[in-house]
Amino acid sequence: MLEIKNLFVNYGHVKAVKGISFRLEKGEIVSILGSNGAGKTSTLMGIMNIVKSDREIYFKGENISKDKTTKLVKRGLILCPENRRIFPGLTVEENLKMGSFIRGDEKNNLEKVYNLFPILKNRKKQIAGSLSGGEQQMLAVGRALMGDPEVLMLDEPSLGLAPIIIDEIFNVLIELKKQGISILLVEQNAIKALKISNRAYILETGKIVHSGISKELLYDEKIKKAYLGR
Ligand code: ATP
């Protein structure tokens, strides 16, 4: 479905991502894990061509390495960015509508998003900046879904949220996977991410240091000690 080969992201002389390769199959959830500064955000920003990168990308067998961000979105590669990046002065529904600006049927998708996150329907006329952190994250995920993603990339959707809200959002991801959406999930919350993903890659200072089946990594003694804090 999506294959990334030799992705490099540099900021001047800072080498944030040092030639990583990975793949995502249709209907899979793949986690990219790692601590602060490991290069997770840069990986997503590099794929989406939001920051400059060297890479080869294949989507459904087609070489899309030279595609600009808008073209990638048109193809159905959609990012739900770190820190949500909602438009605080717009209403919930206006924020959602922004998500289908480039791709996606606005009316249909609004209904789908409201079914997944009923709280957003209740608050559709509310100014987005006044939502709770959890509701804002749901809005950010909802906005990404408005573009009908084939590949949904999420950058730390659990950041700063209460466990019950994280569960609610992760349950939606499981539902989306069932619908056939492929999900690339960047997380610092490794245990939660491993529990819902099929496979995972662990990044350290811009390199993949471990990869494998999520359930196996979850019970691997070395991984537990080094990355899962237990
Ligand atoms: P976090 O969880 O903190 O977001 P991360 O794993 O997503 O961490 P990145 O944000 O990709 O990591 O950062 C990787 C490295 O690149 C870090 O050393 C960071 O300081 C550096 N970096 C990130 N953005 C920039 C930038 N715009 N200019 C210079 N260096 C940057």
Q: What is the pLDDT of residue 104?
A: 85
The domains located in the chain, with CATH, are 1-76+150-158+182-229 (3.40.50.300)
Does the beta carbon of 41 sit less than 6 angstroms from any atom of ligand 1? Answer: yes
Looking at ligand 1, which atom is closest to the CA of residue 51?
Answer: 27
Residue 179 in contact with ligand 1 by CB distance below 6 A: no
Cα 114 to ligand 1 centroid, rounded to whole Å: 34
The pLDDT tens digits of the residues spanning 103-149 come to 889 899 999 999 999 999 999 999 999 999 999 999 999 999 999 99
Q: Check pocket membership of 46 for ligand 1, CB cut-off 6 A.
A: no
**pLDDT at position 83, please?**
82
Q: Which residues on adjacent β-strands are paired with residue 11?
A: 14
Reported as a single tens digit per residue, the pLDDT across 138-164 is 999 999 999 999 999 999 999 989 999
Q: What are 168-214's pLDDT values in tens digits?
A: 999 999 999 999 999 999 998 999 999 999 999 999 999 999 999 99
Burial code (b: 16+ CB inside 10 Å, e: under 16) for 89-106 equals: eebbbebbbebbeebbee
Q: Which of 148, 228, 215, 223 is nearest to 187 (CA)?
A: 228
Whole-number Å distance between alpha carbons of 124 and 129: 12
Please state the pTM of the whole predicted model: 0.93
Tell whether ipTM is more than 0.90: yes
